């Protein structure tokens, strides 16, 4: 029996193009696209993680517009997606919220285009989830990917998405969509 699924999109700690740890800016397209993918694939909650109060307020304003404001009336499917969206100040806070809600430990899964070492494949991870590993939190990084400490502290590392060749520069929105589809999509 699979546990509940969660997603965290980190804006800190993530890397810049030179590999320095930074805080990236929140992007409107990330909010909408990932919320819609999360809803499509049965994710219970999607956390936008930023330590910057102004950025957190901006996200809350966007959520308000689409859930309580004019946007929600105009576009109910978008409202439905954004209702599962929440803002948090840190990854630790997200893990605490989920652990409290689910009354148990959270399995964290780090993702990234350049992960190596002891990664699990999508097939292996699905098997682990189906065998019951409790609530699962998928962690995605903005910028140039998750900082090393996040990867090291995660329970699992998911193998990178491979396309047709060496080029591998998907947007994080596309990476979330593909990851969820590989694991939870139904094929005809």
Q: Write out the residues near a copy of itself by the rule CB under 8 A.
A: 17, 29, 32-33, 36-37, 39-42, 75, 77-78, 80-81, 119, 121-123, 159, 161-165, 167-171, 173-178, 180-182, 184-188
To the nearest whole angstrom, how small is the minimum distance from the Cβ of residue 81 to a copy of itself? 7
To the nearest whole angstrom, how small is the minimum distance from the Cβ of residue 42 to a copy of itself? 3
Collapsed DSSP state (helix, strand, coil) of residue 31: helix
User: Whose Cβ is closer to a copy of itself: residue 71's or residue 89's?
Assistant: 71
Task: Record the tokens describing residue 177, joined without a space.
Answer: 């969509």
Residues 80, 160, 151: CA angle, nearest 5 degrees: 85
Q: Using CA atoms, how far apart are residues 8 and 169, in angstroms rounded to an integer?
A: 20
User: Whose Cβ is closer to a copy of itself: residue 67's or residue 90's?
Assistant: 67
To the nearest whole angstrom, how small is the minimum distance from the Cβ of residue 154 to a copy of itself? 18
Residue 162 and residue 102 in contact, taking contact as beta carbons nearer than 8 Å? no
User: Whose Cβ is closer to a copy of itself: residue 23's or residue 27's?
Assistant: 27
Q: Exposed, middle or buried by CB within 10 Å (0-12, 13-18, 19+), for 35?
A: buried
User: Whose Cβ is closer to a copy of itself: residue 77's or residue 103's?
Assistant: 77
To the nearest whole angstrom, how small is the minimum distance from the Cβ of residue 186 to a copy of itself? 4
User: Whose Cβ is closer to a copy of itself: residue 104's or residue 163's?
Assistant: 163
Q: Using CA atoms, how far apart are residues 113 and 1, in angstroms rounded to an integer?
A: 29
Q: Sign (positive/negative) of CA torsion 173, 174, 175, 179? A: positive
Give the residue among 99, 112, 186 at the shortest CA–CA distance from 156.
112
To the nearest whole angstrom, how small is the minimum distance from the Cβ of residue 89 to a copy of itself? 26
């Amino acid at each position: 029996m699979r546990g509940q699924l969660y997603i965290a999109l980190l804006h800190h700690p993530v890397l810049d193009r030179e590999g320095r740890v930074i805080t990236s800016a929140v992007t409107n397209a990330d909010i909408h696209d990932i919320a819609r993918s999360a809803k499509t694939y049965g994710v219970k909650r999607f956390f936008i993680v930023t330590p910057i109060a102004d950025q957190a307020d901006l996200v809350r304003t966007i959520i308000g517009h689409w859930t309580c404001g004019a946007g929600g009336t105009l576009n109910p499917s978008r409202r439905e997606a954004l209702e599962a969206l929440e803002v948090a100040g840190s990854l630790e806070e997200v893990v605490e919220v989920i652990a409290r809600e689910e009354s148990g430990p959270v399995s964290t899964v780090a993702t990234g285009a350049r992960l190596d070492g002891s990664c699990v494949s999508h097939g292996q991870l699905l098997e682990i989830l189906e065998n019951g590993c409790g609530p699962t939190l998928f962690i995605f990084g903005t910028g140039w990917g998750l900082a090393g400490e996040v990867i090291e502290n995660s329970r699992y590392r998911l193998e990178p998405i491979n396309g047709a060749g060496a080029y591998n520069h998907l947007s994080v929105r596309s990476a979330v969509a593909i990851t969820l589809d590989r694991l939870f999509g139904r094929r005809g």
